Structure 1
Amino acid sequence: MIKVNVHRDHRGNIESFTMEGHADSGPHGFDLVCAGASAVSFGSLNAVQAIAGIELDVWQAPEGGYLRCQLPMTLHLETQRKVQILLEGMIVSLQTIEASYGEHIQINDQGGGKDA
Structure 2
Amino acid sequence: MIKVTIYQDQEAECIGFQMKGHAEFAAYGEDIVCSAVSVLVINTMNAIETFTQDVFEHDIHSKKDLVSFRITSNPVSHDAKLLLNSMVLGLEQIAKEYGKKYITLKKRKQEV
TM-score range, shorter chain: 0.7 to 0.9
Write out the 4+ residue segments of structure 1 that deviate beyond 6 Å after TM superposition: none
User: Which residue pairs with 1:114 in the alignment?
Assistant: none
Q: CA RMSD in A?
A: 1.6
Correspondent of 1:89 among 82, 86, 89: 86
Number of the residue aligned with 2:61:
61
Name whichever structure is richer in strand by fraction. 2
Q: Say how many residue pairs are matched.
A: 108
Q: Unaligned 5+ residue runs, structure 2? A: none
Residues 1-116 of structure 1 correspond to what in structure 2 (within 5 A)? 1-63=1-63, 65-75=65-75, 80-102=77-99, 103-110=101-108
Residue 89 of structure 1 aligns to a residue in which SS?
Answer: helix
The answer on whether the counterparts of 2:54 and 2:80 sit within 8 Å (CA) in structure 1 is no
Q: Structure 1 regions of 5+ residues with no counterpart?
A: 112-116
Give the drift of 1:7: 1.6
TM-score by length of 2: 0.87
Of all paired residues, the percent bearing the same amino acid is 23
- 2:68 maps to amino acid: R
Note if contact 2:5-2:19 (Cα within 8 Å) is conserved in structure 1: yes
